[in-house]
Amino acid sequence: MGNNGLSCRKATFEDIPALRELFRETVTTVNRRDYTEEETADWASCMDGRARWEELIDGMYVVVATDATGGIMGFAAINGEGYLHSMFVHKDCQRQGVATLLLGVMEEYARSKGIGVITSEVSITARPFFERKGYVVEKEQRVRANRLYMTNFKMRKQLGITKDVLETCRLIMRSWKDTDAETLYEYAKDPDVGPMAGWPPHESVEHSREIIRTVFAAPETYAVTLKDTGEPIGCAGIMVGKGLHERPFGTDEAEIGYWIGRCHWGNGYAPEAVDMLLRRCFTQLGMSAVWCAYYDGNHQSRRVMDKCGFSYHHTETDKPSPLGDIRTEHFMRITKTEWENGKTVK
């Protein structure tokens, strides 16, 4: 969806060397703020052996977050009972929205399995983040890492509705479901849809189902469905935080991404969905400005932005896309004041 370089996929055995290094470096640097050198060294040694990683990947749902080049920025693992076993973000990728994305994926996976509560054993370092995400401390405890005992917190969260359901004149925008995979594949396999936005065509129904469980599980990512039939026809979402593009991006600014299946082009569904997301950004999420971006030649996307009141901001050249090629990218922006002065889609 859109041009967002941050995405998730399921972990594989080929990822183990990178995951092992990420885990060790994060524990011995980021967690060193709250634990002694001896404690972090003992903790990091817990996952030195390859067999431990193979057991984790085989036995749990393990997801990695990657950047536009495929580099691993973080990972998370959850079991079938809703126990969040681990979540770590690379020491150089802190405060870029990686943890929020990973946690959203874990929570969406739990919901897809009918799990109503997530539990975890959370470090001193991570406790504030989890509390901001609605987790509560059940108890402080001393647990054994490898040889040493360390302090952490048993935390839990009661899962509610994944995200709000948004409604327009003709559309319902809701969470993606596993049962949407076949329909998603029919649209997303089209080479005229994904590549122009920087993502590859889907290869199978299973590929689409994995995207639903990872990328589309992110907060504020919606299936765009027809109100009359309930059929998903595309995807639209709001991204908040740093790491989306290398440009100034305020904490009260967001980015919108979207796509619609080709057989539904020309019906005005994309502007209708984007206008609803703008309304949500400015009236519910407290945003002061919203960005959109499109690659050179994607005239359909530019027309949607024009209809929704976006204004041209700047162009960046020689940018690697998530597909690995070099492109020119154009950025559009609308402020809350501009939106309030012309709320109707043109």
Summarize pLDDT for 86-140 with one digit per residue, the tens.
999 999 999 889 999 999 999 988 877 777 789 999 999 999 999 999 999 999 9
HSE-CB at 273 with a 13 A cutoff on CA atoms is 32
The reported pLDDT for the residue numbered 287 is: 87
Is the model's pLDDT at 249 over the cut of 50?
A: yes
Radius of gyration of the chain (CA): 21
Is the model's pLDDT at 152 over the cut of 90?
A: yes
Across 239-250, average pLDDT? 57
Q: pTM score > 0.75 for this model?
A: no
d(CA 144, CA 142): 7
5 — pLDDT class (breaks 50, 70, 90): low
Is the model's pLDDT at 283 over the cut of 80?
A: yes
**From its phi and psi, is residue 285 left (phi > 0), alpha (psi between -120 and 50) or beta?**
alpha
The reported pLDDT for the residue numbered 248 is: 55
Is the model's pLDDT at 4 over the cut of 80?
A: no
Q: Bigger pLDDT: 239 or 300?
A: 300
Which range has the worst mean pLDDT, 14-23, 63-72, 281-290, 327-336? 281-290
Tell me if 255 sits within 8 A of 291, measured CB to CB: yes
**Contact partners, residue 337, CB within 8 Å, separation at least 6:** none
Is the model's pLDDT at 223 over the cut of 70?
A: yes
Across 191-204, average pLDDT? 94
7 — pLDDT class (breaks 50, 70, 90): confident
Across 239-263, average pLDDT? 75
